[in-house]
Structure 1
Amino acid sequence: MRQRFKPWAKDKLLSHPEISPVNPAEWKGRWSEYFGNDGPIHLEAGTGKGRFITGMGIQNPEVNYLGMEIYDSILVTALDRIKESGISNVRIIRENAEKLSDFFEEGELDRIYLNFSDPWPKSKHEKRRLTSEFFLAQYEKVLNGKGEIHFKTDNQGLFEYSLHSMSKYGMTLKNVSLDLHKSSFENNVMTEYEEKFSEKGFRIYRLEAEFK
């Protein structure tokens, strides 16, 4: 779905550095200082309008959440959600997930969420998939030894690809669900896309993975 361009979005994000830091690279290795505590740090790559990350922040106040999104016109909605919620443990950064090591030290993150990522179905675009070997290598650097990836999608092809990609990389898979909303998984926080797809009767696939 094409997003409506909002020419004022960038300026609005820049006017709230307490929620969206102007230069996130300056906080590399110091994100605990930015949040003002030593709680675990979880990142959602491709946070969209921020429904998931805000919901997670409300549900888990002891965890610090960062939402990464490249489009100002989308991210500004996440900014409004965070402001309206009044929570202090959710922050957003306007950057591309291809550059994680520019913003996080090795082992600085405790968990990465990948929710309804673009499936990039053509073989020539495999490297762009957020569960490709290219991205897994980056996640491995910034996650600590016990760090995990939590992945959700409605796309069966991407899910099967991700199972294969992560297994080939040597990751340990757990809590694999082929129909999340009919499983026993508790405290699920939905994204905008998840609600839309599930209402249409689509299966939601989910897994957790950790590096050995």
Structure 2
Amino acid sequence: MRLRHKPWAEDKLKAYPQYVVQQPEQWKGKWGEVFQNDQPLHIEVGTGKGQFITGMAKANPHINYLGIEMQTSVIVSALDRIIDEELPNVKLLCVDGSKLLEFFAKGDVNRVYLNFSDPWPKKRHEKRRLTYKGFLKLYEDIMVNEGEVHFKTDNQGLFEYSLMSFSHYGLLLNFVSLDLHKSEFEGNIMTEYEEKFSEKGQRIYRCEVKYPR
């Protein structure tokens, strides 16, 4: 589905600096100052319209959340959610998720969420998959020791690829579900895509992995 361009989105993002972090590179290694506390920081790479990240922030006020999305016409919808909820522990970054090292130092992040990422099914596009080894190294370089990646998708091929990628990288598997909505997993916060796919009866795959010491 073609994304509808919103020419006013960029101006709106700039109008809410309390929710959309401006010049995020200046906060590298100092994200506690942005949130004005020392709570753990969880980030979602590819936050879309923000249903997941705002839901998580509402359910876990003791954790700080950053939603990362590079498309202004998409992330502006996430901004609307945050404005409506007035949540102090969630903010947004309108940046390219492949450039995380520009904005985060080692130990800044406790957990990375990857939800319904683009599967990039063609072999020649493997390096663009957010569970490719290059991205796994990128997450490791900004996370605390034993940081975690939580991954959800409706794409079986991407899920199988990701499990192999996690294993080859040496990550520890903490949780895996081949049909999340029929499992006993509690506290699931759904994304917009997840709601749409599950309503159609599609299976949702989920796993949690941890970096070794």
- TM-score bracket, normalised by the shorter chain, equals over 0.9
Name the residue aligned to 2:110: 110
Paired residues for 1:138-149 under 5 Å:
138-149=138-149
Give the partner amino acid of 1:201: G
Separation in structure 1 between the aligned mates of residue 16 and residue 22 of structure 2, nearest angstrom: 8
Name the residue aligned to 2:204: 204
Deviations 1:111-156 (A, max 9, x none): 0000000000000000000000110010011110121000000000
Deviations 1:1-33 (A, max 9, x none): 211100000000011111112211111111111
Give the partner amino acid of 1:5: H
- Where structure 2 has 5 or more consecutive residues not aligned to the other structure, the ranges are none
Name the residue aligned to 1:85: 85
Paired residues for 1:170-185 under 5 Å:
170-185=170-185
Separation in structure 2 between the aligned mates of residue 33 and residue 146 of structure 1, nearest angstrom: 23
For normalisation by structure 1, the TM-score amounts to 0.99
Deviations 1:79-104 (A, max 9, x none): 01001001110100001111111000
Name the residue aligned to 1:31: 31
Q: 1:52 and 2:52 equivalent?
A: yes
Look up the SS of the partner of 1:166 in the other structure.
helix
Look up the SS of the partner of 2:88 in the other structure.
coil
Paired residues for 1:144-163 under 5 Å:
144-163=144-163
Of the structure 1 ranges 192-201 and 23-32, higher mean CA displacement relative to structure 2 is found in: 23-32
For normalisation by structure 2, the TM-score amounts to 0.99
Runs of 4+, deviation exceeding 4 Å: none
Identity of aligned residues (%): 59
Separation in structure 1 between the aligned mates of residue 181 and residue 132 of structure 2, nearest angstrom: 26
Q: 1:169 and 2:169 equivalent?
A: yes
Name the residue aligned to 1:121: 121
Paired residues for 1:180-199 under 5 Å:
180-199=180-199
Name the residue aligned to 1:43: 43
Look up the SS of the partner of 2:141 in the other structure.
helix
Give the partner amino acid of 1:134: G
Q: C-alpha root-mean-square deviation of aligned residues, in Å?
A: 0.6
Separation in structure 2 between the aligned mates of residue 40 and residue 21 of structure 1, nearest angstrom: 18
Please report how far the alpha carbon of residue 174 of structure 1 lies from its aligned counterpart in structure 2 after TM superposition.
1.6
Please report how far the alpha carbon of residue 175 of structure 1 lies from its aligned counterpart in structure 2 after TM superposition.
1.1
Number of residue pairs matched by the alignment = 212
Separation in structure 2 between the aligned mates of residue 97 and residue 173 of structure 1, nearest angstrom: 23
Separation in structure 2 between the aligned mates of residue 73 and residue 18 of structure 1, nearest angstrom: 19
